Amino acid sequence: MATQSPSHVSLTPSAAARVATIAQKQAKPAMLRLSVEGGGCSGFQYKFGLADSVENDDAVAETDGVKLLVDPVSLDLVAGCVVDYVESLGGAAFRVENPNATAGCGCGSSFGI
């Protein structure tokens, strides 16, 4: 079951399952932090990492017991996004479907607004 915060970021069941597996292997809580940094091919790039705790100002969305955390600065750039986990012949990766992005790159890890 998925719950959304007012920020409307969300995690697909596929992404939640992958985060849970990684977190279990690393003995960490099942919390994925999505942040945005300057750089990449298109101006901004997504950064993913497991989090140890929820910060007071984080936006939090939960799917199947796994939390997606986004800081307020990054949230302005990714509000409305969906984080998915996809496997293909080219490899497996977390992908962000970001309705705010007006440009992207072939690698899928950077975007422009």
Q: For the chain, what are the domain ranges?
A: 2-112
Q: What is the mean pLDDT of residues 4-12?
A: 71
pLDDT of residue 23: 96
Q: Are 95 and 83 in contact (CB under 8 A)?
A: yes
pLDDT score at 44: 83
pLDDT at 2 over 50: no
Both structure tokens of 30: 């099942």
Which CATH architecture fits 2-112? Sandwich (2.60)
Q: What is the pTM of this model?
A: 0.82
Say how far residue 32 (Cα) sits from the centre of its chain. 7
